[in-house]
Amino acid sequence: KMAGSSAPWIGSAYLFLQSTCKTIVLPSLYESSQKKPSVFKALKLALADSTGSVNGVDMLKVHCSHPHLIVQLKFCKQENCRRFLQSYREGTLQESLQSHLQLSLAMTRVPLEMELKAGNEHLDNMLKDEDRCLECIYREKPDRLRDEEITELEECLKSLIVHQSINNNMTVKGCPSLNSPSLPCPSQGSSLSPQVTFIFQGQQFANRTLTPDDHQKFAKLVSKKWKQVGRSLQKNCRALRDPVIDNLALEYDREGLYEQAYQLLLRFIQSEGKKATIARLIAALEENGLISLAEELLGLHSNEECS
C-alpha cells in the first residue's frame, strides 16, 4: 500500500495555470500587490470546492513563471487527493476557478488552461488511471514548508471571513491590501458570497431573484446555447443534471429553442426558489460568452468582451 500503517499519506503536485485571453496575464495579476489577494482568494476557494473542505489541499507556494502561474500543492489525505483529481478530471475545478477569478477580479470572463504535474510526470496523460496519479503524487514529497507570503495571505483571508461573520460593518485590521476595491470588504457591506450585490463589467448590481421578464428575455435570446448555460448552472443546481437537460431537448424539440430554453430556466427557478438569482444567471452567461444577453438582462449596452 502507498500509505504505511501509521505514517500519514502526504503527497505533492504542481498546478500550472494560464489564461487563454491575451489581455489577462495571471502572473502579472499575482505580482500586483493590489490584485494578489484577489487571485489568492479565488485559488483558495476553488481548491476548497474541489475537495469539499477548506483544508483539503494546502498551497505551499505560488510561482510566477510567465505566462504560467504555478501553484505547489500539498495533500495530507489520500481521499482529499482523490476528490481533487476527480474534480480536476471532470473540469469542475477549472470551472470553479474561472468563476471565482471572475468574481474576485471583477472581470467579465477569465478563460483558463490547466496542467497538472508531479515530478516529471504529466498527470493529464493518465487521469483515467486515478491510482497511478495518486502514486505519482504520493511519491513526490513536498520539498518546502509553506511560503511566508502564503501564510500571510491565508491569515488575511481568514480574518476577512471571521470579521465578516461577526459583524458586516467591521473592517479588516492590519491587512490594508484586503481593504482595496479589488476585494469585497466587510467595511463596504459586501460579502464573500455575492448575496446582496455582484459586479459585472466593473459595475455593481443588486442581486435580485429572477423575474418573469428575465425569464422571457433569456428564452428569446439565448438560442442554441441554452444547453451550455444549463450545464454552467448545474454546478450548483441538482435539478439541472445532464439527463434532465437532455430530456428537455427531446421533450420540447418540436416547440423549438425558445420553449427549450424557457423550460430549462423554469426548472432552475422552481428548484432554487429565492436562490435563483440574476447573479447566478449572469455568471453562467459570461462563462459561455453570452455577454450581450447578460447586458440585455442588466439594461446595459456596452460591448466590452474578451475575445
C-alpha atoms less than 13 angstroms from C-alpha of 272 in its C-beta half-sphere: 23
Q: Do 74 and 20 lie in a common domain?
A: yes
- pLDDT at residue 303 greater than cutoff 60: no
133 located within any domain: yes
Q: Do 93 and 207 lie in a common domain?
A: no
Q: What is the CATH number of the domain that holds 35?
A: 3.30.70.680
Q: Do 46 and 140 lie in a common domain?
A: yes
What gap in Å lies between CA 303 and CA 55, rounded to an integer? Answer: 40
At 304 the pLDDT is 45
Q: Do 15 and 102 lie in a common domain?
A: yes
Q: Do 35 and 141 lie in a common domain?
A: yes
98 located within any domain: yes
Of 64-73, 148-157, 194-203, the least confident: 194-203
Q: Do 38 and 103 lie in a common domain?
A: yes
The residue among 153, 180, 205 that closes a domain is 153
- pLDDT at residue 13 greater than cutoff 50: yes
Bond before 186 cis per omega within 30 degrees: no
191 located within any domain: no
Q: Do 229 and 107 lie in a common domain?
A: no
Q: Do 149 and 254 lie in a common domain?
A: no
User: From residue 182, how far is each of 86, 153, 247 by CA, in Å?
Assistant: 31, 15, 41
**Residue 129 phi/psi, 5° resolution?**
-100, 85
26-53 per-residue burial string, b: 16 or more CB within 10 A, e: under 16: bbebbeeeebbbbbbbbbbbbbbbbbee
The residue among 120, 153, 186 that closes a domain is 153
Q: Do 105 and 210 lie in a common domain?
A: no
Of 26-40, 132-146, 154-168, the least confident: 154-168
Residue 31 belongs to what domain range? 11-153
* Total count of domains within the chain: 2
Q: Do 213 and 130 lie in a common domain?
A: no
The residue among 92, 118, 153 that closes a domain is 153
Q: Do 145 and 220 lie in a common domain?
A: no
Which three three-digit cell numbers place residue 166?
Answer: 461577526
Q: Assign 188 a pLDDT band (cuts: 50, 70, 90).
A: very low
The better pLDDT of the pair 6, 173 is held by 6
Nearest CA to 285 among 246, 217, 249, 232?
A: 232
Strand-strand pairing, 121-122 and 112-118: antiparallel
- pLDDT at residue 183 greater than cutoff 60: no
163 located within any domain: no
Q: Do 31 and 131 lie in a common domain?
A: yes
Threshold 0.75, pTM exceeds: no
Q: What is the CATH number of the domain that holds 284?
A: 1.10.533.10
240 located within any domain: yes
Once rounded to an integer, what is the mean pLDDT over residues 17-44?
93
At 6 the pLDDT is 59
At 276 the pLDDT is 93
Q: Which of 2-16, 73-87, 105-119, 174-188 is most confident?
A: 73-87
129 located within any domain: yes
* Percentage of the chain exceeding pLDDT 90: 61
Q: Assign 194 a pLDDT band (cuts: 50, 70, 90).
A: very low
What gap in Å lies between CA 166 and CA 146, rounded to an integer? Answer: 28
79 located within any domain: yes
**Number of residues that this document lists for the chain:** 307
The better pLDDT of the pair 149, 160 is held by 149
213 located within any domain: yes
Mean pLDDT of the chain: 85
At 160 the pLDDT is 67
At 307 the pLDDT is 43
Question: At a CB cut-off of 8 Å and minimum separation 6, what does 187 contact?
Answer: 169, 170, 171, 172, 179
